[in-house]
Structure 1
């Protein structure tokens, strides 16, 4: 109960600490996974009329509720460890990766039937990692197959090849210095770049494609009106918040330590290099698009790149109806089309 009380009792003075807000925002990115492509990938398997508005509300609420519940589990064990060792919970509850791989297993070793609880704990970590890997790998595979449609027939080989590369790269974390590498990449390779990537995405939706058109597309899909608050969020609120988070992430950056050892300067530079690699893909593709995709002189290419292309929405109602009919036909399947043409004709007439 001491650990739970430490967990739920607020420290109001920490609200004035910008780093706390920054860490909280980054944790939301880790939990929800925006900017990584996984959400868009998995959502693409929904039906065309799926209520995405409800999903965008329920998913964050469920994830936040899960995190809060997990906090009770973690801090109850940390409170038990504090009681056994006499060390304050504030000292026991070390943040970062050490909490999951050092502090928590050490606390479990003090419980009755420690081996049983240890097996359950590491099985839980294994399945959490596997479920995250499914989404990550699917995002990579779908991106490759969409960019090069000819490879779709070889999806099994691409999946196997992707898993082999990820396995080979992750073996560095199993070495004696593995925890240091994991801490370094955890601090630098994702936190800053994912905020920038999400900022670029919401800017494209809100300003390049247009929040007004995006709102109409969603209303067409769910057959309901959508509040203007969503328009304000996509257009103004979210970009401003993400810019503030991005600036705070860089400004509050400090030297990282693990097990009482401060990382040398060259490792910090390496961490930032890993961060720059993912962010550099954005300007590189922008340059490629301006040079090889857009038409006209340089000024015209820059100007046209700020607007949707002619063969991409928003589309008129006739085109939308034609597209819906094609979707319905694909959903029914080829065999159904050949054997039961009357039902297909009735379906198209209804649409």
Structure 2
């Protein structure tokens, strides 16, 4: 006997979980630098346009697919149109790949929360991170060894993640979101408040928000804006389809997308204020321009911020709050990513939640623990993250939109479904943005990225390593999605009977 599909306890619980998925590490360490590099305050205009013409329409689309077909991506796309099923499995594989390395960064944040007490990184945070803590090898070749200081917190991260998932959607994911998201908001407000009081904070904010209006005419700035919105909202790899499948029959889909989209963007702007106010302090302390100390990613979080923490009054407290915020933001996103994999296998096999979490989540955790807490781990993380983002998430999103909008011609029936219970109705404008604007922008992003990729090797890595750890993962996700869709799944929730929509398209 199959379990009845779980449901969120309240709309607020769903929204907190959706916001928790969207608000992740990239909001804190990617958005501020992207904005700074692409026109500063002027970047907010294309960013807002991208949010309204791609981000929120894509959220509404994914919410509606999940809610209408009440399933995780593979089954939802199967019920939409049988040939579309590989897209769902493609998204599942993307989530699996992201989960195995995303947990590693959370484990670093856990350790650096402790390192902040006593500023264990000493006078050279970069050497401490890569040599003392990660014991990073010079190149991803030859022998490697496991790093216990990384493996132990990584195991702890997976124990917490799988425990939350095993408890269930309402009692596990929703309760965790109700605790983590308000806590994250409080911690980050404290962090930003302290950053704004630092000497030099105003110079950092001027660097971030002073508009360079000439950037508006630069096409790469608009591509960067759409890319940031696309990657920060957790669209394109099945999370929002899965989460929306647990909504009640009467749900405000478009209103929820507006709340989640603007909440995510508000957090990004808040993160930008906190990060650049802090970088302004660092610039004032060293006598360098803000542009010389501005960075992003791992370098910002685990090198630049420790340097700042060491030099500021009460820096240890600031460090604990910052890295605790990273940990919480990462955990809420990781939970949502693994949930896609667990739910998809459960939907197609009929496995109950606890066995599905233990088997599917357990395999994901084992792969993560075996591959990444090693002296080669950062090299693999860097390359896999780059290729799965550029040629996994973005390409999967592009294919999904083209298939739904043009091949299946499903936007009209999906908009009708969304309008049945949504406060904000969607219509022709929504269909135009998804059918024209989003495919054009995503297609241009793919072309631009691929052109740069073929011009020179990413970060100077060898061609063999990029083929084995980068292209193999990206292409393998596509092939794997097709293969999984062809398997004769037994015992799972069967597709709903085919229906004919108002445009005559059989699904």
TM-score (norm 1): 0.74
Distance of 1:143 and 1:187 partners within structure 2? 25
Which of 212, 217, 228 is the equivalent residue of 2:417?
217
Given that 2:234 and 2:240 are in contact with CA atoms closer than 8 Å, whether structure 1 keeps it comes out as yes
Structure 1 stretch displaced more, 119-128 or 170-179: 170-179
Residue 294 of structure 2 corresponds to residue 93 of structure 1: yes
**Alignment partner of 2:236: what SS?**
coil
How many residues get paired? 291
Report the CA distance shift for 1:169/1:107 in structure 2 as closer, same or farther (over 3 A).
farther
2: CA distance, partners of 1:54 / 1:122: 32
Deviations 1:249-284 (A, max 9, x none): 212335443xxxx32332322312211122233554
**Which among 449, 453, 471 is matched to residue 272 of structure 1?**
471
Match of residue 261 from structure 2: 60
Q: Greater RCO between the two (CA within 8 Å, min separation 6)?
A: 2
Q: CA deviation at 1:235?
A: 2.6
What are the within-5 Å matches in structure 2 for residues 1-351 of structure 1? 1-15=202-216, 18-149=219-350, 151-152=351-352, 155-171=353-369, 172-207=371-406, 208-222=408-422, 225-253=425-453, 255-257=457-459, 262-269=460-467, 270-284=469-483, 288=486, 311-314=497-500
Tell me the distance in 1 between the aligned counterparts of 2:220 and 2:239: 27
2:410 counterpart SS class: helix
Matched residue of 1:90: which SS?
helix
Q: If the length of structure 2 is used for normalisation, what is the TM-score? A: 0.53
Q: Greater CA deviation, 94-103 or 46-55?
A: 94-103
Between 1:44-53 and 1:277-286, the stretch displaced more is 277-286
Larger of the two Rg values belongs to structure: 1
Report deviation, 1:88: 2.1
Residues 181 and 86 from structure 1, CA distance in 2 versus in 1: closer, same or farther, beyond 3 angstroms?
Answer: farther
Note the C-alpha offset of 1:96: 3.0
In the alignment, structure 1 segments of 5+ residues that lack a partner are 294-308, 317-351
Q: Deviations over 1:42-84 (max 9, x none)?
A: 1122221211111222221111111011000001111111111
Check conservation: 1:97, 1:183, Cα contact below 8 A: no
CA distance, structure 2, for counterparts of residue 189 and residue 62 of structure 1: 26
How far off is 1:148 after superposition? 1.0
Q: Distance in 2 between matches of 1:111 and 1:170?
A: 36
Q: Is the 8 A contact 2:388 2:474 kept in 1?
A: yes
Structure 2: segments with no counterpart, 5+ residues? 1-201, 490-494, 503-507
Change (3 A) 1:163 1:282: closer
**Taking structure 1 as reference, are residues 239 and 210 closer, same or farther at Cα in structure 2, changes over 3 Å only?**
same
CA RMSD between the two structures: 2.7
